[in-house]
């Protein structure tokens, strides 16, 4: 039922996410969600349903980009990244910052890293994380605070 719309949905996502490496992943997620929904309720207009699902995924994708960028620089906006006409040096510098951030996050203690990523990157609330880990909200706050301090020190070169 959905197969005949594959090329159109891929073109739609490729157009809306110009130059993104995430197109194939979002096409796959669009179809996964469509098939899951179809298992519960028949879909009357497959093309419209797929386009709506893809549009929702694009919105989620951009929200995720905004969260990831706020971790690096709270004042940075996704529209500023990879903007047309951006100088190569700026793009490379930003890429280096992201790589340094990823390394710094990976260097955090396991539980601290998992809590930090869930909250700052994945967008989970502190009470949701507390429930997942079986700890208090205050403990979640402490893990996030420790992660922020360690990341700030690592990224600014002020390691104690």
Q: What is the pLDDT along the chain (160 residues), one digit of tens a residue?
A: 567 888 888 888 888 877 777 888 888 988 888 888 877 887 778 878 888 888 888 887 777 666 665 555 555 554 554 444 444 455 555 666 777 788 888 889 999 999 998 888 778 889 999 999 999 999 999 999 999 999 888 888 776 5
What's the distance, CA 138 to chain centroid?
Answer: 25
Q: For residue 31, give the nearest of 11, 59, 1, 61 by alpha carbon.
A: 1
Quote the pLDDT of residue 139.
96
User: What is the Cα–Cα distance from 28 to 34, expressed in whole angstroms?
Assistant: 10
What's the distance, CA 16 to chain centroid?
Answer: 17
pTM for this entry: 0.46
Q: Which single residue is written with the structure tokens 């039922």?
A: 1
> What is the per-residue burial (b if ≥16 Cβ within 10 Å, else e) of 11-36?
ebbeebbeebeebeebbebbbebbee
For 43, phi then psi, to 5°, come to -95, 120
Q: Which two tokens stand for residue 52?
A: 């709506």
Sequence-distant (6+) residues with CB within 8 A of 101 are 71, 72, 151, 155
User: What is the Cα–Cα distance from 23 to 21, expressed in whole angstroms?
Assistant: 6
Quote the pLDDT of residue 134.
95
Report CA-CA distances (Å) from 128 to 65, 132, 140. 21, 6, 10
Quote the pLDDT of residue 16.
81
Quote the pLDDT of residue 55.
85
Quote the pLDDT of residue 69.
55
Quote the pLDDT of residue 109.
93
User: What is the Cα–Cα distance from 139 to 18, expressed in whole angstroms?
Assistant: 41
């Amino acid at each position: 039922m959905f197969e005949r719309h594959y090329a159109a949905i891929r073109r739609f996502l490729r157009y809306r996410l110009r130059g993104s490496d995430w197109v194939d992943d979002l096409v796959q997620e669009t179809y996964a969600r469509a098939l899951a929904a179809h298992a519960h309720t028949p879909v009357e207009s497959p093309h419209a349903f797929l386009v709506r699902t893809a549009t929702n995924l694009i919105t989620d994708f951009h929200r995720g980009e905004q969260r990831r960028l706020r971790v690096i620089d709270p004042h940075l906006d996704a529209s500023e990244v990879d903007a047309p006409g951006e100088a190569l040096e700026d793009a490379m510098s930003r890429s280096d910052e992201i790589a340094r951030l990823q390394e710094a996050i990976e260097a955090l203690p396991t539980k601290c890293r998992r809590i930090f990523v869930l909250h700052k990157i994945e967008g989970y609330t502190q009470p949701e994380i507390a429930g997942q880990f079986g700890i208090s909200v205050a403990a979640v706050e402490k893990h996030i605070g420790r992660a922020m301090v360690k990341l700030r020190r690592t990224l600014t070169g002020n390691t104690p």
